[in-house]
Homo-oligomer: A and B are copies of this chain.
Amino acid sequence: MTIVFADPAGLSHEQLEEGSAFSPRFDPSGLITVVTVEHGSNDVLMLAHMNAEALSLTLETGIAHYWSRSRGKLWKKGETSGELQQVVELRTDCDQDALVLVVKQTGRGAACHTGRKSCFYRTVQLVEGQAVLTDTLQPRLFDPNEVYGH
């Protein structure tokens, strides 16, 4: 069963921002941006997208589902790696075009396909007018070659 979400076009500005009807504003590609954070630490683990089906499945099963833009298909996070994400809370923003998904990261605790806990493992700094990256040295919790076989 897919949940039928309220149509945001039918809502006033006030209803969208202050109301109790969940009316996700999917973009022209049918996607909404999702920030996934770790329960407890609030660390940002990853940024991804959901279509209506992924959002329905996430709400119905309590396990994070996304839409993979690179593969063009529904993506049950952790289906290959075993790193499933258990939903603790889902939040939406003022104009309902973004979501925050609070999860417990299962498996080895790696949300990133590189084997790290978070995808955000590098900082950006200006050094003599050039923007350079510095690795924050998050440990690899799995070997991606072993898990994904490439």
Chain A residues with CB under 8 Å of chain B are 1, 3, 5-6, 17-22, 33, 35, 37, 41-44, 46-47, 59-60, 89-94, 98-100, 112-114, 119-126, 129-136
Contacts and interface: CB of A to CB of B under 8 A. Distances in A.
Contact of A5 (B1, B22, B44, B131): B131
7 contacts: A6-B131, A17-B114, A20-B133, A21-B132, A35-B35, A47-B93, A94-B119
A47 B112 contact: no
Given A33-B33, A131-B22, A132-B21, A41 B42 contact: yes
A20 B131 CA distance: 9
Contacts of A42: 37, 41-44
